[in-house]
Amino acid sequence: MIFLIGFMGSGKSTIAKMVSEKTKYPYIEMDQAIEEAEGMKIRDMFASKGEQYFRDKETEFLRHLKDEVVLSTGGGVILREENRVLLQEGTVVYLKAEWETIVERLTGDTDRPLWKGEDSEKKKRFDERLSLYEQAADVVIDVDQKTPEEIAEEVMGRLK
């Protein structure tokens, strides 16, 4: 299993699809799998059931994952220790982006419930998570100023 981790906007979903094509392992989007299982958009789940409910669904999803897949995780998957342990079942690839890259990519995004509020609040969330991504990662890939194709190729090279 190949797990892509990183902050919102780091490119997990984009790169996971490309790595799936290159490896022939099926691509799974964890957010989408949870949305389908719950019959509800992540944004609505956060609003009506709360963040912890969504976090429980993330953990349940990881507990039941068995197949060889390329999984695009949600940016907050590293928050729980149990999740970080479960991720060790596969190769964890951290797509590491500078704050400026994230802002550039997510300006105007209204889909992500935790991408909201003051810049300082978002930056604080980013800073607080950095060490958790590093801790969980088997492979770290810098994604700033690279095309998706370059990043996907770099991931492939590092999987060997």
Ligand X SMILES: Nc1ncnc2c1ncn2[C@@H]1O[C@H](COP(=O)(O)OP(=O)(O)O)[C@@H](O)[C@H]1O
Ligand Y SMILES: O=C(O)C1=C[C@@H](OP(=O)(O)O)[C@@H](O)[C@H](O)C1
Q: Which of 1, 13, 25, 90 binds ligand X (CB under 6 A)?
A: 13
Q: Is 14 in the site for ligand X (CB under 6 A)?
A: yes
Where is the binding site for Mg(2+), in residues?
A: 13
Q: Is 147 in the site for ligand X (CB under 6 A)?
A: yes
Give the amino acid at 80. Answer: R
Q: Which of 1, 13, 55, 125 binds Mg ion (CB under 5 A)?
A: 13
| Residue whose C-beta lies closest to ligand X | 11
Residues forming contacts to ligand Y in the complex (CB under 6 A) are 8, 12-13, 31, 42, 74-76, 112-114
Candidates 37-45, 50-58, 117-125, 140-148: pick the segment binding ligand X (CB under 6 A).
Answer: 140-148
Cα torsion at 124, 128, 133, 136 (round to 10°)? -160
Alpha carbon distance 115, 91 (integer Å): 27
State the binding partner of 11 from ligand X, Mg ion, ligand Y, none, CB within 5 to 8 A by kind: ligand X
Alpha carbon distance 73, 8 (integer Å): 10
Closer by beta carbon to Mg ion, 111 or else 120: 111
Residues 6+ positions from 100 with CB-CB distance below 8 Å: 144
Q: Which candidate, 28, 136, 142, places its Cα nearest to that of 79?
A: 136
